[in-house]
Chains A and B, each alone.
Chain A
Amino acid sequence: TQLLEQSPQFLSIQEGENLTVYCNSSSVFSSLQWYRQEPGEGPVLLVTVVTGGEVKKLKRLTFQFGDARKDSSLHITAAQPGDTGLYLCAANNDMRFGAGTRLTVKP
C-alpha cells in the first residue's frame, strides 16, 4: 500500500495570496490525481498528472508532477474564497487518498 503524505494539513490565507500544497510518497506512481472537496459534497477531480516533470494549469491552479513521479504539488495563484475546500491527492493504482490539505481563503 502506497502512503501519500499531504502537507500542510491546514492552511488559512487571505484572498489574493498565493499558496502551494504538497503530496509526497516514497513510491513511484504512474499517475496521480488531485481532487477538491467542498463542504457537504463528494470530492471532484481537478486533474490527473501522468508524466514525470509534467505541469498542468487549470486557470489559477498549477499542478506539477515530480521528475521521479514520487511527489506532486498544487500551486494556487491569487486565491479566492471559492478555492476554500479540502484538497486530496490519490495515486492511480490505489484506492487510498492522502489525508488532504484543508484550505480556507478569507475575503
Chain B
Amino acid sequence: GAGVSQSPSNKVTEKGKDVELRCDPISGHTALYWYRQSLGQGLEFLIYFQGNSAPDKSGLPSDRFSAERTGGSVSTLTIQRTQQEDSAVYLCASSLVPPDRGYEQYFGPGTRLTVT
C-alpha cells in the first residue's frame, strides 16, 4: 500500500507570506504527527493528532503555526507570516496506534521549506 505522502516536496516563499503543507497519512492510521528538522539537526516535535481527540499542540513554536486534520485523515500544517527561521524540512508521520500502546511511526519524505 501507499506510504505517507507530503506535498509539496519543496516550497520557496517570501518572508511574510503564508504557506500550507499537506500530509496524507497511511490509510487506517489513527495517529498523525508533524515534526520540523533544521539542517543537520534532529527532529523537533510540533503537533500530534489522535483520532477525534483534541490535538497535542505543545510543540508548536509560536501562534503563527497551526494544523488541522480533516476527517481523521489528511492534515494541513499552516505557517502564517513566515520568517527566515522557519526554513526547515517539515516531516509528517502516521502510526496505527497511539504512542503509549507501542507504535511504529511511518514518515513521509518531508517538505523542504525555504523562506527568502
Contacts and interface: CB of A to CB of B under 8 A. Distances in A.
A44 B103 contact: no
Interface in A23-63: 30-31, 33, 35, 40-45, 48, 50
A100 B38 CA distance: 13
A95 B56 contact: yes
State the main secondary structure of chain A at its contact with B.
loop
Interface string B30-46: 00010100001111010
Given A42-B4, A102-B40, A50 B107 contact: no
- A interface bracket (residues with beta carbon within 8 Å of B): 20 to 34
B102 A97 contact: no
Given A95-B33, A95-B56, A43 B103 contact: no
Interface residues of B, number: 23
Interface of B: 4, 33, 35, 40-43, 45, 48, 56, 59, 91, 93, 99-100, 102-105, 107-110
Nearest to B103: A92
